[in-house]
Homo-oligomer: A and B are copies of this chain.
Amino acid sequence: MADLEWASGLPGLYAVIPAGGSGTRLWPLSRTASPKFLHDLTGSGASLLQDTVARLRPLCGERLLVVTGARHADGVAKNLPTLNSDNLIVEPSPKDSLPAIGLAAAVLERRDPDAIVGSFAADHVITDQPAFEGCVTEAVAVAREGVLVTLGITPSYPATGFGYVQLGSAYGPSGHARWVPAFVEKPPLEVAKGYVDAGYLWNAGMFVVQASVLMAMIERWEPELAAGLRAIAADRDTIEDVWPSLPALSIDRAIAEPAAAAGAVAVVPAHFGWDDIGNFASLAAHLPPSRSRAGLRVLGDDDLVLSIDSSGIVAARGGRTVVLLGVPDTVVIDTPDAVLVTTRERAQDVKVIVDALASSGHEDLT
């Protein structure tokens, strides 16, 4: 009975995992050819993508689609060997989030008229699985009412790199859902502080919506995109011809913003731990303390690291011994072909390295 329940999950829920982005702020661990979601960044023994799938299985059973770029299709297939090829959608070229999620919705509305899409990024870390399942379960119930539902994260600081969700009045008689009067773009710091004080939540890109409702929204605000996506869904062989003509659009700006303005968006506040592991400083929080060295977090083999009067983060992924002497709050990322030395404070700037390498003819390292 428990197994059967596990296998079916929430009736009609299809998990959609857009697996894109290269994670340039985690260079040299993540690379253009080997993006963040294919890596074990928490020492769990599984990649972030595998962790994401494992987290969703109790909710969606086998109803799970991954949308990824052509260059990562092989990596995803190897990472998820049991994924049915019908459930792996390969984008011929990157088009931002809306065509990716929209194509999954177009495929699903044909497969199951009552399908509900739950879209979750491939490279986020979520802690407290029961809270996550409860939150998604509530979001699915709200989505059945015909609105676009987002999961809202309580801000831990006035981030300028995320969008924010304004909270309106309570949605429905029970539960925690609220109407969303407005989705707001990544704000300047002072604006972000005001949002946090006003109780706005982070938009973490987790959406739950009926496939047919999402397609209707796309048809309303981006009709050519909707037509293109439905043409591809009707005949997958047309993707190479149709895809290049589609616009690159983010679901936040192209759909969630106008839908909120039209009174068609609700939010379920999330009560689980969430992190997009935006840089090495935030990665540290997900690593266990070093067995042998206080103040140090190690990703990889602890035995490869020797730390004297030092603290920070070491990724020992080059098979070599890494020794720190007298360097506090330091980040050392060792890989077979590159080693990065920086500080926790500068971890957010790692992207500039990738830019510098690319502009100096070292694309092979990016």
Contact = CB atoms under 8 A, between A and B. Distances in A.
Nearest to A330: B341
Interface in A275-325: 306, 308-309, 318, 320-325
Contact of A321 (B324, B337, B350): B337
Interface stretch (A177-185, A195-203, A351-359): A351-359
A225 interface: no
Nearest to A343: B326
B342 A332 contact: no
Nearest to A337: B320
Interface in A336-366: 336-343, 345-346, 349-350, 352-353, 356-357, 360, 362, 365
Contacts of A360: 306
A325 B306 contact: no
Contacts of A346: 309, 325-327
A325 B349 contact: yes
A341 B314 CA distance: 11
* A-B pairs, 8 with minimum CB distance: A326-B346, A325-B342, A321-B338, A323-B340, A324-B341, A320-B337, A325-B346, A322-B339
Interface string A85-116: 00000000000000000000000000000000
B327 A342 contact: yes
At the interface, is chain A mostly helix, strand, loop or mixed?
Answer: mixed
A325 B341 contact: yes
A334 interface: yes
Contacts of A343: 325-327
B356 A341 contact: no
Among A324, A342, A350, the most chain B Cβ lie within 10 Å of the Cβ of A342
Contacts of A324: 341-342
18 contacts: A308-B349, A308-B352, A308-B356, A309-B346, A318-B320, A320-B339, A321-B339, A321-B365, A322-B341, A323-B338, A323-B353, A325-B342, A325-B346, A325-B353, A326-B349, A327-B330, A327-B341, A327-B343
Nearest to A331: B325
Contacts of A336: 320
Nearest to A342: B325
Contacts of A318: 320, 339
A184 B321 CA distance: 40
Nearest to A332: B341
B338 A341 contact: no
A339 B332 contact: yes
A334 B326 contact: no
B339 A325 contact: no
A325 B327 CA distance: 14
A350 B306 CA distance: 12
Given A320-B337, A321-B362, A321-B365, A326 B308 contact: no
A40 to B, nearest CB: 21
Interface in A52-93: none
A28 B325 CA distance: 13
B338 A320 contact: yes
Nearest to A310: B341
A339 B332 CA distance: 10
Given A308-B352, A309-B346, A323-B340, 7 more contacts: A306-B356, A306-B360, A321-B338, A321-B339, A323-B353, A325-B343, A341-B341
